[in-house]
Amino acid sequence: MKIKIDIDCTPEEARVFMGLPDLKPMQDALMAQMQGRMEQAMKAMDPETLFRQWFTGAGISEMQKFWTNLASTSGDKK
C-alpha cells in the first residue's frame, strides 16, 4: 500500500511548521560583514595603492628579495 500526501506551502511556512529557527537575520548580518570585507580588499587592490606600497620604503626591498628568491629557485636542477 502506498500513501502519498502533497503539501503545498512555502519554505517559510514549512520552516515554521517544523519548528526550525529563522536564520535570515544572522545570514543578513554575515553577508553585510562579508560585503564590507570584500569592499576593503578591493580598495587595497587599487593600482595606485599597490604601487605606493611596492615602490616606497620597505616595499622595494621586499620586491627585490622576492625576485632574488624566485630567480634562485628557478634554476636548472639536474
pLDDT tens sequence across 13-23: 999 999 999 99
Question: Which residues lie below 8 Å from residue 60, measured CB to CB, with a gap of 6+?
Answer: 54
Q: Where are the domains of the chain?
A: 11-70
| Cell numbers found for residue 13 | 511556512
pLDDT tens sequence across 28-59: 999 999 999 998 888 777 787 777 777 776 66
